[in-house]
């Protein structure tokens, strides 16, 4: 019977018939290099873990530092200012009565400095994400219900799931190109004019087809021309893009509903749809998380939106008017920001986008991982 002894390093060693020994004398401690490598790996792995933490702190710190001039200049009012103008305006100075001040035969000009405010892009992000959710959530939930309840009997649950996952893997640039060359012309040729003809004459709908703009100091009402690159197109493209994600996550959530729950409701006399409602109610935490994940993706999406949103940084209530989201503003203006305040304001917008995306993700993970698995 071979003796075994535990040495001071806590590593079991065997003697006489056990492992091959390095010398006729019994080895009583593990090789120093092996122990060293063990400690080294522990520290290297810990360092990798801390790198992950650093990767969250770094963007926040960098954006905070670079956006500081804008934060100092505007503070929190940045979030409610709706002017975004990178150039200075020269306007004739007016006195208290509104008359132009004239000195020495010429009008005195005042210079209105550049001004930046995030309200238009906040509005654009909110409305485009809302349209995207309006499109994606009903279709996504219906498709998830189909995959979980109807498709297994038809044996197409597997192929359908594969299809949805393939859709989710398509780069967003593809949706952007398709939106720009296919959907936008469709909307501008058919949808816009048709809606204008049918609804345009009804008094409650003229906010959809007219906008008030200021020309030469006076407000005028102008009809909105249908370019196809507007808020509606942006929202639709976003919706089609987040549809696979919402479907896939909802499918996973609904799959986790215990059969006993469904069978119990059916045994109590529920119809097919009533048992579906029971499933949706049971998985409501996870489904809310799925919707939040889709929302987080939609709000942070750049490429699909930039090509179809119209690049107009103003708040116009109509869905047929061009708009701007936070991500599309950054994509369009960042490379050409000339003055320091312009860059700082853009980075302030990036900081707001980062904070919003982090918030959505944290809430979504809490609901999908935390609550749904309880």
Partner 1 sequence: MAVRRENKVARVTSSAMYIACSAASIVILLLLIWITGYLVSIGMASLNLDFFTQVATGDPEAPGGMRHAIRGTIILLGMASLVGVPLGLLAGIYLSEYAADAGHLNTVVRFTADVLTGLPSIVVGIVGYELIVVPMGSYSGYAGAAALAFIMIPIVARTSEEMLRLVPHSYREGSLGLGATKAQTIFRVVLPAATGSVVTGIMLALARVAGETAPLLFTALGSRLLTTNPAEPFPSLTLQIYSYATGPYVKERQMAWAGMLVLIAMLFLLNMLIRYVAHRSVRKFQVS
Q: Which is nearer to partner 1, 176 or 211 (CB)?
A: 176
Q: Among 272, 317, 338, 340, which residue interacts with partner 1 (rule: CB under 8 A)?
A: 272
Q: How many CB atoms lie within 10 A of CB 341?
A: 19
Residues between 192 and 221 with contacts to partner 1, criterion CB under 8 A: none
How far, in Å, CA of 366 to CA of 371, rounded? 7
Under the binding rule (CB under 8 A), the answer on residue 315 touching partner 1 is no
> CA 194 to CA 210: how far, in whole Å?
15
Residue whose CB is less far from partner 1, 127 or 364: 364
Determine, following the binding rule CB under 8 A, whether residue 150 of this chain makes contact with partner 1: yes
Residue 46 vs 281, nearer CB to partner 1 = 46
> In 3-state terms, what secondary structure has residue 94?
strand
Binding to partner 1 (CB under 8 A) within 67-106 occurs at none
Helices (H), the chain: 32-74, 119-145, 151-154, 157-169, 172-178, 184-186, 192-199, 206-209, 231-255, 259-267, 272-282, 284-300, 303-306, 326-333, 340-365
Can residue 266 be called a binding residue for partner 1 (CB under 8 A)? no
CA angle in degrees (0–180, nearest 5) for 15-20-22: 95
C-beta of residue 143 within 8 angstroms of C-beta of residue 136: no
Identity of the residue, 12 or 112, whose beta carbon is nearer to partner 1 in the bound complex: 12
Region near partner 1 per CB under 8 A, out of 55-63, 84-92, 115-123, 217-225: 55-63
Q: How far apart are CA 137 and CA 335, in angstroms?
A: 35
- Cβ of residue 351: shortest distance to partner 1, in angstroms? 9
| Only segment of 56-64, 69-77, 254-262, 315-323 that touches partner 1 (CB under 8 A) | 56-64
Stretch that binds partner 1, among 58-66, 108-116, 192-200, 257-265 (CB under 8 A): 58-66
Q: What is the largest CA-CA distance in the chain?
A: 116
Residue 34 in the binding site for partner 1 (CB under 8 A): yes
| Among the listed residues 307, 321, 344, 372, the single contact to partner 1 using CB under 8 A | 307
Nearer to partner 1, 127 or 151 (CB): 151
Nearer CB in complex with partner 1: 34/199: 34
Residue 196 or residue 363: which is nearer to partner 1 going by CB? 363
Are the C-beta atoms of 286 and 367 separated by less than 8 Å? Answer: yes
Q: How far apart are CA 250 and CA 189, in angstroms?
A: 35
Determine which residue in the list 303, 312, 314, 371 makes contact with partner 1, applying CB under 8 A.
303
Q: Residue 32, interface with partner 1 (CB under 8 A)?
A: no
How many angstroms separate the CA atoms of 220 and 37, rounded? 76
Choice from 2, 96, 169, 260 touching partner 1 (CB under 8 A) = 169
Rounded (5°) CA angle 114-319-123: 45
Which DSSP string do the residues of 73-93 spell out, in sequence order? HHGGGGGT----B-S-EEEE-
Q: Binding of partner 1 at residue 330 (CB under 8 A)?
A: yes
Binds partner 1 by CB under 8 A, chosen from 15, 64, 85, 334: 334
Residue 271, interface with partner 1 (CB under 8 A)? Answer: yes
């Amino acid at each position: 019977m071979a003796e075994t002894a535990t040495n001071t390093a806590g590593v079991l060693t065997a003697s006489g018939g056990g492992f091959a020994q390095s010398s006729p004398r019994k080895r009583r401690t593990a090789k120093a290099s092996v122990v060293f490598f063990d400690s080294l790996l522990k520290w290297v792995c810990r360092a990798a873990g801390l790198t992950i933490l650093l990767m969250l702190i770094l963007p926040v710190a960098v954006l905070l530092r670079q956006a500081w001039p804008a934060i100092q200049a505007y503070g929190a009012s940045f979030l409610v200012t709706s002017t975004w103008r990178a150039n200075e305006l020269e306007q004739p100075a007016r006195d208290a009565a509104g008359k132009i001040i004239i000195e020495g035969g010429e009008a005195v000009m005042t210079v209105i400095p550049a001004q930046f405010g995030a309200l238009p892009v906040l509005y654009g992000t909110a409305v485009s994400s809302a349209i995207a959710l309006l499109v994606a959530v009903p279709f996504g939930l219906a498709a998830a219900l189909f995959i979980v309840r109807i498709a297994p009997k038809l044996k197409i649950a597997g192929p359908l799931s594969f299809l949805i996952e393939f859709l989710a893997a398509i780069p967003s640039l593809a949706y952007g190109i398709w939106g720009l060359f296919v959907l936008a012309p469709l909307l501008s040729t058919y949808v816009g004019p048709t809606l204008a003809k049918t609804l345009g004459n009804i008094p409650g709908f003229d906010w959809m087809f007219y906008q008030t703009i200021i020309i030469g100091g006076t407000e005028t009402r102008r009809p909105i021309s249908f370019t196809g690159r507007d808020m509606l197109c942006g929202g639709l493209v976003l919706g089609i893009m987040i549809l696979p994600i919402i479907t896939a996550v909802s499918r996973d959530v609904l799959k986790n509903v215990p059969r006993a729950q469904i069978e119990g409701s059916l045994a109590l006399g529920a119809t097919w749809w009533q048992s579906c409602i029971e499933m949706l109610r049971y998985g409501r935490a996870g489904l809310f998380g799925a919707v939040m994940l889709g929302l987080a993706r939609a709000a942070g999406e750049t490429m699909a939106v930039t090509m179809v949103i119209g690049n107009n940084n103003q708040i116009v209530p109509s869905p047929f008017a061009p708009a701007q989201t936070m991500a599309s503003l950054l994509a369009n203006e960042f490379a050409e920001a000339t003055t320091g305040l312009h860059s700082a304001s853009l980075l302030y917008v990036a900081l707001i986008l980062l904070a919003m995306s982090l918030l959505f993700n944290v809430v979504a993970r809490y609901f999908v991982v935390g609550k749904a698995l309880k």
